[in-house]
Amino acid sequence: MSANTLLETRNLTCIRNDRRLFGGLELVLEAGQMLVVEGPNGCGKTSLLRILTGLRLADEGEVRWRGETIEKLAGDYYEEIAYVGHHDGVKRELSCLENLRLARAMGIPSALELDDVLEQVNLYVYGETEAGSLSAGQRRRLALARLLATRSILWILDEPFTSLDKASMAMFTGLFVAHIEAGGMIVMTSHHDIPLDHERIRRLDLGAKA
């Protein structure tokens, strides 16, 4: 394992409904790298991401961060990651600003003002608007805005471009590239190409890991 390795899995196995989705998975990811998880529906992409966040336990194996298991690190690990799942995870009864304040309360605040965060994702005029009144694309932008509102090294993203128009996809693609080039890390499921040098981007086909 390289001294630059932050995220590592050892013999990771996931079973659902008595069917092994993947097994013996060995991953190593360093600062400044992105892992794109690919494969057909039902192969375990979302399950893998949830295991990496600690929301789901692996059936075998372990996830390590900075050389320690994430179970041992607990809250120290969660402060260093940000997760945006396939569902937006926004509180529809809260305003956009309230959603971002809640995200900050559960993580480490970034240096950006929340109004600036909303402006960057083209939601500035909706700061006091309840999230339930937003379109699907606007709610997705609000969910991804949590990445800017908090300071996390590892971003774990499940189909982050869902419901986004082309302009928003380009905007967040630029954000993801900037995060990697600044030494951050991303694990994501996506069919969208990310313009990164080959040494910065890795691909995992889970369909071949069952």
Alpha helices for 106-165 (secondary structure H):
114-120, 136-149
Average pLDDT value for residue range 54-67: 94
pLDDT category of residue 193 using cuts at 50, 70 and 90: confident
pTM for the full predicted model:
0.94
- pLDDT attached to residue 3: 62
pLDDT digits (tens, 9 = 90+) for 24-53: 999 999 999 999 999 888 899 999 999 999
Report residue 59: phi and psi, to 5°.
-75, -30
What is the sign, positive or negative, of the torsion defined by CA atoms of 194, 199, 205, 210?
Answer: negative
pLDDT at position 198 over 90: no
pLDDT category of residue 210 using cuts at 50, 70 and 90: low
